[in-house]
Chain A
Amino acid sequence: MKGFSIWHAFLLIGLLGLVMLFYQGLWGDPTALPPVIIEEAAAEVVAPDLYSGDEFRLSEHLGKVVVLNFWASWCLECKLEHKFLLAIQKRYENRPDFVMYGVNYQDKPHLAKAYLEEYGNNFAHVVDMKGKISIDYGVYGVPETFVIDKKGIIRHKQIGPILGDVYSNLLENVIDPLLNEPGLTS
């Protein structure tokens, strides 16, 4: 190993590091976004109900598993996932410790109502008037869904539609276990 100095060793380590970095970049998911707000306290949501205009406050649902689904009438993927959302609500509608809300995003109320009339509706929806709620939740686009546990901590963030395996995973590995977790009073 004549001429192999500590500098060559450093160079080799550096090159290996770069190769690993590039390798990870090649095989990683370029659309993956950092799960920034997972395991953090959910920001308060104060918004008017789409139909009644009554004020909705997320903090009033502390002690329940809350599903917040951001959607818009102009969003094609929202239409694809809509029946799955209806199925989620139907599955848990008798549980007093579960609630699901739709958050209408960058939309017009009359278009949102027409959309719900066309595709069906069995849960409540609020309006994100100025985009404050969506920015508080770091929403890039719709659909995005957040699952908040009984202690008010965001435990899951789904970017994109809830379909097929994503739907099964959401029910079996996220919502069901969270419903089985003890509430605030336990």
Chain B
Amino acid sequence: MKKSAVFFFATFLFLSFGETFLFAQSDPVPPALVMDDDELQTQLKAVSKTLRCAVCQSESVWESNATLAIQMRDIVRERLLAGETPDEIRAYFVSRYGDYIVFKPRFRGLNLLLWGGPFILLVFGGVILLRNLRNWTRPQPETTQASQQALLEPIDEKQRRRLEQELR
């Protein structure tokens, strides 16, 4: 009974901690490297999401499973590992495929029209709207006089008779 209790306790200890002792040496991945991998994956995702899959319809390199997208992801990973910044990696792809390859157009050249266009149109439309509103709300002397005159004019005989009939 005593022997079996010791055996049971030893088995329990082995199952609980034995794996740690036995395999600690065979698993050389330090926690810091695992964290780096996570960071790499996060950066890979962030950069790949900003790149358009060149052969897909409105899909990012991150989302697409096309062979070209997979190869582009591999290149992003390689370049991140080589120490390139996300902007440098995007610049590389733009130099190969043009602005089309990035979802967010660069702030330069004709792209400025894309970036600034809506704001320019907003200001322009606002100014026009303001001017028109001012015109609409400004009192018009001729119109006022005419409408006042119309108010003062007595109703004609036909209308008067109809009114009297309906009020009877």
Q: Which residues of A contact B (CB under 8 A)?
A: 7, 10-11, 14, 33-34, 36-37, 106, 130-132, 134-138, 140-141
Task: Report chain A residues within 8 Å CB of B71.
Answer: 130-132, 134-135
B67 touches A106 (CB 8 A): yes
A-B contact count (CB 8 A): 49
With A14-B124, A135-B72, A140-B55 already in contact, the answer to whether A33 and B98 are too (CB < 8 A) is yes
| B46 CB–A CB distance under 8 Å | no
In the complex, besides A37-B95, A131-B75, 14 extra interface pairs with C-beta distance below 8 angstroms are A7-B127, A7-B128, A10-B124, A11-B128, A14-B121, A34-B100, A36-B98, A37-B96, A106-B68, A132-B71, A135-B93, A136-B96, A137-B96, A140-B97
Residue of A14, A132, A135, A141 ringed by the most chain B CB atoms within 10 A: A135
Given A130-B71, A132-B75, A36 and B97 touching (CB < 8 A)? Answer: yes
Q: Provide the residues of chain B in CB contact with A33, threshold 8 Å.
A: 98, 100
The answer to whether A36 and B128 touch across the interface, beta carbons within 8 angstroms, is no
Tell me, yes or no, whether B54 is within 8 Å of chain A by CB: yes
Chain A residues whose CB sits within 8 angstroms of the CB of B121 once the complex forms: 14
Instruction: Provide the bound-state CA to CA distance between A11 and B121, in Å.
Output: 10
Within 8 Å CB of A138, what residues of B?
Answer: 96-98
Given the interface contacts A7-B131, A33-B98, does A131 sit within 8 Å of B124 by beta carbon? no
Nearest chain B residue, comparing its CB with the CB of A141: B55
Question: In the assembled complex, which residues on chain A have CB atoms less than 8 Å from the CB atom of B97?
Answer: 36, 138, 140
A-B contact pairs, 12 of them (CB 8 A): A11-B124, A34-B99, A37-B96, A106-B67, A106-B68, A130-B71, A136-B96, A137-B96, A138-B97, A140-B54, A140-B68, A141-B55
Residues in B neighbouring A36, C-beta threshold 8 A: 95-98
Complex Cα gap A131–B75 (Å): 9
> Are B98 and A34 in contact (CB-based, < 8 A)?
yes
Chain B residues with CB below 8 A from A140, complex form? 54-55, 68, 97
Q: Which residues of chain B in 62-101 are interfacial with respect to chain A, using CB atoms and an 8 Å cutoff? A: 67-68, 71-72, 74-75, 93, 95-100
* Shortest Cβ gap from B61 to chain A (Å): 11
Write the nearest CB–CB distance from A19 to chain B, whole angstroms.
15
Closest residue of A by beta carbon distance from B66: A106
A132 CB contacts on chain B under 8 angstroms: 71, 75
Bound-state CA distance A143–B162 (Å) is 88
Are the C-beta atoms of A131 and B68 separated by less than 8 Å?
A: yes
A130 x B98 contact (CB < 8 A):
no
A130 CA to B72 CA, complexed, in Å: 9
Please, which residue of chain A has its CB at the minimum distance from the CB of B101? A138
Cα of A167 to Cα of B54 in the assembled complex, Å: 26
